[in-house]
């Protein structure tokens, strides 16, 4: 006899003469139905899991929704409207009409073909030339249109005192600095004080015309050495002034004068 395990016939053979009210009999009796039910549920879950990517492909992308939302809420700021200017001067009146004479281009033609009279040069000497003849208004008020802003441009003179180290052309003594030092040496009167020795430091401004102004003694060694330096500098011939950007400028100059009395 062939036994089909899918049929409950084998269960009756196994539990023949035994207590069928025992829980094992009910479990084995319902195993076929439970197995089929579990197979169907498993197949459904498996099919659903496999189809999830396909289902997600039909759903809208959240990034697209965010982008669309951003576009919708974007605002555009318009520039403020310009207020009409107030207290503007009235427009100038139109210029008065002037006598205008039509200019006829000279063309070589027969006398009988001439339809317009050629204007004599004497008649257009003080008149405007145009495309047609217009009679001016001799009683019109003569007006002159404004030109420019009405404010004259004033170029201020550069009186800045420059430092000799920062200008393009430094001031110089005529003939060179060696002649200047020689001039100081020949004209400076050293005080007759035994053992007098040291340096006198002076500064001055070389003006645009080459003269020396604002002569100051920064340090001297006494006995009138500073006053003597000022006296000699005031007697100095005019210098060649300094230049900046192609123009003569005022410039400071520092000078040390060595003093040594004769022994």
Distance (Å, whole) CA 105 – CA 118: 9
Q: Considering the entire predicted model, what is its pTM?
A: 0.42
- 239 band by pLDDT with thresholds 50, 70 and 90: very high
CB atoms within 10 A of CB 160: 9
Q: Which residue has the higher pLDDT, 129 or 241?
A: 241
Would you say the C-alpha torsion 112, 117, 122, 125 has a positive or negative sign? Answer: negative
Mean pLDDT across the chain: 75
Q: Where are the beta strands (DSSP E) in the chain?
A: 100-102, 128-130, 161-163, 197-206, 212-219, 242-244, 247-260
The yes-or-no verdict on residue 81 having pLDDT over 60 is yes
Closest CA to 259 of 163, 184, 203: 184
Q: Which residue has the higher pLDDT, 77 or 198?
A: 198
pLDDT tens by residue, 210-236? 999 999 999 988 888 899 999 999 999
DSSP 115-182: -SPPPPGGGGTTSEEESS-B---TTSPP-----S-S----------EEEGGGSSB--B-TT-HHHHHH
pLDDT tens by residue, 85-108? 777 777 777 777 666 666 656 656
pLDDT score recorded for residue 237: 92
The yes-or-no verdict on residue 256 having pLDDT over 60 is yes
H or E element that contains 238: none
Whole-number percent of the chain with pLDDT over 90: 23
pLDDT score recorded for residue 67: 55
Radius of gyration of the chain (CA): 58
Three-state DSSP class for residue 205: strand
Bridge partners, residue 133, by sequence = none
């Amino acid at each position: 006899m062939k036994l089909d395990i899918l049929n409950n016939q084998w269960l009756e053979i196994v539990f023949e003469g035994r207590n069928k009210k025992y829980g094992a009999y009910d479990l084995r009796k319902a195993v076929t139905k439970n197995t089929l039910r579990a197979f169907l549920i498993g197949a459904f879950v498996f099919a659903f899991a496999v189809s999830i990517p396909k289902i997600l492909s039909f759903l809208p992308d959240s990034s697209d929704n965010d982008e669309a939302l951003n576009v919708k809420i974007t605002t555009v700021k318009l520039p403020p409207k310009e207020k009409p200017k107030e207290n503007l001067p009235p427009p100038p009146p139109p210029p008065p009409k002037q006598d205008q004479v039509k200019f006829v281009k000279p063309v070589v033609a027969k006398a009988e073909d001439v339809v317009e009279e050629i204007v004599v040069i004497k008649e257009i000497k003080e008149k405007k030339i145009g495309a047609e003849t217009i009679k001016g208004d001799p009683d019109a008020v003569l007006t002159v249109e404004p030109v420019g802003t009405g404010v004259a441009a004033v170029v201020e003179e550069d009186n800045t005192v420059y430092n000799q180290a920062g200008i393009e052309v430094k001031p110089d003594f005529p003939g060179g600095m060696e002649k200047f030092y020689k001039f100081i040496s020949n004209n400076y009167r050293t005080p007759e004080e035994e053992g007098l020795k040291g340096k006198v430091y002076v500064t001055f401004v070389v003006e645009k015309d080459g003269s020396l102004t604002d002569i100051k003694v920064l340090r001297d060694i006494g006995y009138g050495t500073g006053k003597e330096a000022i006296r000699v500098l005031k007697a100095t011939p005019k210098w060649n002034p300094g230049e900046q950007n192609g123009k003569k400028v005022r410039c400071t100059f520092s000078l040390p004068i060595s003093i040594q009395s004769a022994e």
